[in-house]
Amino acid sequence: MRATARGNINVILVFSLAILVFILGAIAGFFIWKQGQKDEAVAAPAYVNLGRVVAQVGGGRFVRTEVQLEIAGAEHSGLFESRRVQVLDRVRSGLGQMSEADLYSVQGKRKAQEAIVAYLNHYFGKPLVLEVYFSNFMVAGG
């Protein structure tokens, strides 16, 4: 009789442990699923085309380029349009940080992009600008 009672207790303990593992797995799965939902809920980036920008850089040279900003969501597009003059001024300031040698290197252009992102995010007081893209990058003068 005693062996049967121990066997029943062992079966109950194993069964209880299996249920506990199942419940913990379900809870962990739920939290992982919720995290995936939050990641999908993050707004897709939007783009603001600033058009042609001309800026004076070191050595008396000028840079002419088309500038497009990647921003942290379409809901912020109006903010960039309403403050277009200030945004363009910060872009010109970022380009103005380039030296004459930087004009011809990929690293120099990357430095200018990072400066523009920093100037604009500082101006808005929050990280709205994710990336800056140049096209038709031309250097003249000097």
Q: pLDDT tens digits for the chain (142 residues)?
A: 556 666 677 788 888 888 888 888 888 888 887 777 655 555 688 899 999 999 888 767 888 999 999 998 888 888 888 999 999 998 988 888 888 777 788 888 888 889 899 999 999 999 999 999 998 888 887 6
Q: For 130, what's the count of Cα atoms within 13 Å in the CB-facing half-sphere?
A: 12
Domain residues of the chain, as ranges? 1-42, 46-141
With a CB cutoff of 8 Å and minimum separation 6, the contacts of 125 are: none
Closest to 51 in 3D by CA, of 64, 67, 63? 67
Question: pTM of the predicted model, to two decimals?
Answer: 0.66
Q: For tokens 């300031």, what's the residue? A: 93
Given 3.30.479.30, 3.20.20.140, 3.40.50.1360, 1.10.3720.10, which CATH number is that of 46-141?
3.30.479.30
With a CB cutoff of 8 Å and minimum separation 6, the contacts of 75 are: 43
Dihedral, CA of residue 138, residue 86, residue 73 and residue 49, to nearest 10: -30
Dihedral, CA of residue 133, residue 90, residue 97 and residue 139, to nearest 10: 50
The pLDDT assigned to 42 comes to: 59
